[in-house]
Amino acid sequence: MTFQVSREDGLFYRQTLFDQARRVVIKVGSAVLTTGEGLDQEIIDSLARQIAFLSSTGREVILVTSGAVAAGRQRLGKANFGNTLRVKQALAAMGQGLLMQAYEQAFLAYGLQVAQLLLTHADLSDRSRYLNVRNTIGTLFDFGVVPIINENDTVSVEELRFGDNDTLAALITNMIGADMLILLTDVDGLYTANPLHDPSARPIYTVSEIDAAVEAMAGHSNSAMGTGGMRSKIRAARMVAACGGSSFIGPGRHPELLKELFSGDLVGTFFLPGRERISGRKHWIAHVLRPKGSLVVDRGARRALVEGGRSLLPSGILEVRGRFGVGAPVHCLDEDGNIIAAGLTNYAAEDIDRIRGHNSSEIAGILGFKDSDEVIHRDNLVLLGPDGLHRERR
């Protein structure tokens, strides 16, 4: 299947999916929200007006936003304290309240209330906290309140970070079962080549499948976006497609963008849902949890996982890397070191090391107990590509 669809088919698919979308996540980054002087209140007012329009059509909307650090810098004026992590965290602490105040005033003008959720990766990697976040968002929808989500930059360190708000927005989209992720950027969308250097470059309006050719196009955008960039947006779109959602990348400063999108105008780049969909739990395993170790498997086990959709048995394991306990998230690697799957283990690392290469019938004799025939059951295993994102089974 080619990654592009015809203009006519693209219009049909886009309009159908926009019409059906009842729950939408909108992500806006610093490149759209800020100027050299700080927050752009005109853009914030425009966002509030457009989201109010979507709410008036009966849709539930979440806003994932950046901008706290920029707001903090704005409050300090021209003082320059550098760009270290602790400076950014302090600026975020100063700016988060200012950012929310700007949103509260903007949404209040349209009769909407907002609520703030500040998250770190730890809030989603713990299953009970993950479900609590989802329940909180659902209750805010019941109240008719617009949830506004940001990474908690004040306390986030490397191991607690999502990496960028594109990833956070994709995780939230899949967590709440949203129909669509809208990524507002400072570029018009994807092009076949860099339009500044190639006069034959043309826009890509609808993408049916994100493959290597689409990912290569990320280098054609001339964006100066913050921590993300076009590559992180395409990665976010792939994550959403894996759970059956659609995504859009387009110009966030366009004053009527959302109304035009939902009216069927051909603008920006739209990504269709994936053909094979994974459950919310498997999404959590694949994209939220961070591996505590890895298991190297032989060719037969690789074939059983990738082509047969089977569980991982101890007989196919060649090597155990890392120290982890029962139920830990791990990556499965082939003999060349390529990531092929993620899953939750039924045994601790030291026990897997003792039973690797043996048949399941030998587990009890080796360990003195047997909790399962499988090291990773297929219900707790998700196929991944080399980039760590979900891939369809061949």
pLDDT value for 159: 46
For residue 28, the cross-strand partners are 65, 184
Closest by alpha carbon to 285, among 175, 169, 155? 175
Superfamily of domain 291-383: PUA domain (2.30.130.10)
Question: Reading across the β-sheet that carries 180-185, which strands appear in turn?
Answer: 114-119, 146-151, 60-65, 23-28, 180-185, 246-251, 269-271, 206-207
CA pair distance 345, 329, nearest whole angstrom? 7
Fold matches, 7-282 and 291-383: no
Contact 153, 69 (CB under 8 A): yes
Contacts of 139 (CB under 8 A, 6+ apart): none
- Exposure pattern of 171-192 as b/e (b: 16+ CB <10 Å)? bbbbbbebbbbbbbbbbbbbbe
Closest by alpha carbon to 118, among 50, 81, 67, 79? 67
pLDDT value for 162: 61
Closest by alpha carbon to 341, among 378, 300, 288? 378
**What residue spans define the domains of the chain?**
7-282, 291-383
Helix (H) or strand (E) holding 69: helix 68-76
CA pair distance 205, 247, nearest whole angstrom? 12
* Cα 306-295-243 angle, rounded to 5 deg: 45
Phi, psi torsion values for 324, nearest 5 degrees: -155, 160
Number of Cα atoms under 13 Å in the Cβ half of residue 272? 23
pLDDT value for 1: 38
Per-residue pLDDT of the chain (394 residues; tens, 9 = 90+): 345 666 666 677 778 888 889 999 999 988 899 887 788 999 999 999 999 999 999 999 999 998 888 888 888 876 677 778 888 888 889 889 999 999 999 999 999 999 999 998 888 888 889 999 999 999 999 999 999 999 887 776 554 456 688 999 999 999 999 999 999 998 888 888 777 778 888 888 889 888 777 877 776 555 443 445 788 899 899 999 988 999 999 999 998 999 888 887 888 899 999 877 888 888 889 888 989 999 999 999 999 999 999 999 999 999 999 999 999 999 999 999 999 999 999 999 999 999 999 999 999 999 999 999 999 999 999 998 776 566 655 4
Query: Residue 107 has which token pair?
Result: 């949404």
Domain 7-282 fold? Carbamate kinase (3.40.1160)
**Distance in Å from the first CA to the final CA of the chain:** 14
State how far Cα 89 lies from the chain centre. 23
Read off the amino acid at residue 167: T
Query: Residue 161 has which token pair?
Result: 């970070």
Contacts of 62 (CB under 8 A, 6+ apart): 24, 25, 26, 137, 146, 147, 148, 149, 172, 176, 178
